[in-house]
């Protein structure tokens, strides 16, 4: 099936781009690996879970009659599911109103304009009512192909999982595993005092969990406004959160009596019931088969883009966390608008979002940003670029080796 725009990933950046393009009467498809095969809802990207978790905890701890320590993980999961359901229905309603097709499955490039859906699709995944035309596109293995005039990669990031950290989903976890904890831990070491570590630290302290945030930097969040950070640290201290700064964690492991310890450079050990590893995100690009589109990523799996958010392939764009710095909802959605304007040559078009059109209520008629807002995935040499009459692939093996290890 052929579309004007195929969007891979349906969390804030992807969803908003799809809606903006549909408003320009473009044929739009979203591919989401997390979509429920039944009705296309259940789109739970990262930010969705962290903001929804914050709403959940605020709601659960708002009840003054209740001691926060009595709040169980089942309470958190139940409330989270309720808030998430409302959010997913809003997004689903928005997609249906704009005639956007949602496909469930893992997106994988076949060539610069064609994408194959694999995995959940094969197992009877979601698709609009199958048409004769669609059935023709089904491959014998049940995978399915879409063709896009323009393609937008909005696949976001996932928490890093370094090999030397023994993640076990119970005592030593990352943010994606928090909701599957069997019970509310009494104490937690948070490795990494960046925005995510601080956010989870304060949320979990509100649940009565004794939190200690460990970070190798002497000062946290030094790229943010100092006054705001001082206020944040003040509230963290009021919630009983402890900090251990200036020393990197060199090891995380379980003790013999089923607790968890973080070993610092000085050899000192910090012990708690659980540990949450929050030291960075990595681009969700591994399964996209980007080589087939003559694209490559930097060492953190992020996609390099130019000021119009175009990749090396001028019809393929990137937005949101997968293209790097600022990694927040607002900038991701702004980038989506910039992409749709540029892709469909609608530079003067204004896209308005109102509260009935989804969770962000801000006027999006922003012009292209100044350079320091541009995506910051590290620029790497393009091994697929034509140089004179020989392709760079004909460059010396050493050169290619250099690029591919970047």
Ligand X SMILES: Cc1cc2nc3c(=O)[nH]c(=O)nc-3n(C[C@H](O)[C@H](O)[C@H](O)COP(=O)(O)OP(=O)(O)OC[C@H]3O[C@@H](n4cnc5c(N)ncnc54)[C@H](O)[C@@H]3O)c2cc1C
Q: Which residues bind ligand X (CB under 6 A)?
A: 8-14, 31-34, 43, 45-47, 50-51, 106-107, 154-157, 175, 196, 199, 284, 287-288, 320-322, 327-330, 332
Q: Are the C-beta atoms of 27 and 350 separated by less than 8 Å?
A: no
Minimum distance, C-beta of residue 16 to ligand X, in the bound complex (Å): 8
Q: Which is nearer to ligand X, 261 or 331 (CB)?
A: 331
Tokens coding 114? 């064609």
Q: Between residues 199 and 296, which has the closer beta carbon with respect to ligand X?
A: 199
Instruction: List 326's β-bridge partners, or say none.
Output: none
> Min. distance of Cβ 55 from ligand X in angstroms?
10
Contact 249, 263 (CB under 8 A): yes
Degrees, nearest 5: CA angle 320-321-327: 95
Contact 41, 35 (CB under 8 A): yes
Contact 183, 74 (CB under 8 A): no
Count of all residues that appear for the chain in the document: 406
User: Shortest Cβ distance from residue 159 to ligand X (Å)?
Assistant: 7
Tell me the torsion sign for CA atoms 402, 404, 405, 406.
Answer: positive
Q: 85 or 385, CB closer to ligand X?
A: 85
The sheet carrying 269-272 orders its strands as: 249-254, 260-264, 269-272
Q: Quote the least distance from Cβ 44 to ligand X, whole Å.
A: 7
Q: Report how far residue 8's alpha carbon sits from residue 13's, in angstroms, rounded to the nearest whole number.
A: 10
Nearer to ligand X, 31 or 252 (CB): 31
In the complex, the smallest distance separating the C-beta of residue 202 from ligand X, rounded to whole angstroms, is 11
The nearer residue to ligand X, 124 or 385, going by C-beta atoms, is: 124
Q: C-beta of 14: minimal distance to ligand X in Å?
A: 5
Measured in degrees and rounded to the nearest 5, phi and psi for residue 229 equal -65, -40
Residue 214 Cβ vs ligand X, minimum distance, rounded to whole Å: 17
Using alpha carbons only, what angle is made at residue 148 by residues 145 and 154, rounded to the nearest 5 degrees?
95
Q: Between residues 66 and 123, which has the closer beta carbon with respect to ligand X?
A: 123
- C-beta of 11 vs 247, nearer to ligand X: 11
CB of 338 to ligand X, least distance (A): 14
SS3 of 163-222 = CCCCCCCCCEEEHHHHHHCCCCCCEEEEECCCHHHHHHHHHHHHCCCEEEEEECCCCCCC
Comparing CB distances to ligand X, the nearer of 31 and 165 is 31
């Amino acid at each position: 099936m052929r579309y004007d725009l195929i969007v891979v990933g349906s969390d804030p950046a992807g969803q908003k781009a799809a809606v903006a393009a549909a408003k320009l009467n473009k044929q739009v498809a979203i591919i989401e690996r997390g979509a429920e095969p039944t009705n296309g809802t259940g789109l739970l990207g990262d930010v969705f879970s962290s903001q929804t978790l914050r709403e959940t905890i605020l709601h659960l701890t708002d009840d003054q009659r209740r001691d926060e320590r009595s709040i169980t993980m089942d309470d958190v999961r139940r409330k989270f599911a309720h808030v998430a359901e409302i959010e997913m229905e809003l997004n689903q309603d928005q997609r249906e109103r704009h005639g956007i097709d949602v496909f469930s499955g893992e997106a994988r490039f076949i060539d610069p304009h064609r994408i194959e859906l694999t995995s959940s699709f094969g197992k009877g995944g979601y698709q609009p009512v199958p048409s004769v035309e669609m059935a023709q596109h089904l491959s014998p293995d049940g995978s399915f192909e879409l063709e896009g005039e323009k393609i937008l990669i909005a696949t976001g990031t996932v928490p890093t999982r370094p090999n030397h950290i023994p993640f076990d989903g119970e005592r030593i976890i990352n943010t994606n595993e928090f909701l599957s904890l069997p019970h509310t831990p009494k104490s937690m070491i948070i490795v990494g005092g960046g925005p995510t570590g601080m956010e989870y630290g304060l949320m979990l302290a509100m649940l009565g969990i004794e939190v200690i945030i460990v970070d190798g930097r002497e000062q946290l969040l030094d790229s943010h406004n100092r006054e705001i950070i001082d206020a944040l640290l003040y509230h963290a201290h009021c919630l009983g959160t402890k900090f251990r700064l200036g020393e990197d964690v060199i090891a995380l492991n379980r003790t013999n009596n089923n607790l968890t310890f973080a070993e610092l450079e000085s050899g000192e050990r910090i012990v708690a019931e659980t540990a949450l590893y929050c030291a960075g995100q990595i681009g969700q690009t591994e399964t996209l088969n980007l080589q087939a589109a003559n694209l490559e990523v930097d060492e953190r799996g992020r996609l390099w883009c130019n000021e119009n958010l175009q990749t090396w392939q001028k019809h393929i764009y990137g937005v949101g966390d997968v293209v790097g710095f600022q990694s927040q909802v607002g900038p991701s959605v702004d980038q989506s608008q910039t992409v749709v304007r540029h892709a469909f040559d609608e530079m003067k078009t204004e896209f308005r979002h109102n509260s009935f059109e989804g969770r962000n209520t801000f006027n999006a008629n922003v012009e292209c940003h100044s350079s320091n807002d541009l995506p910051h995935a590290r620029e790497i040499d393009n091994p697929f670029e034509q140089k004179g009459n020989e392709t760079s692939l004909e460059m010396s093996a050493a050169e290619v080796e250099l690029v591919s290890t970047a």
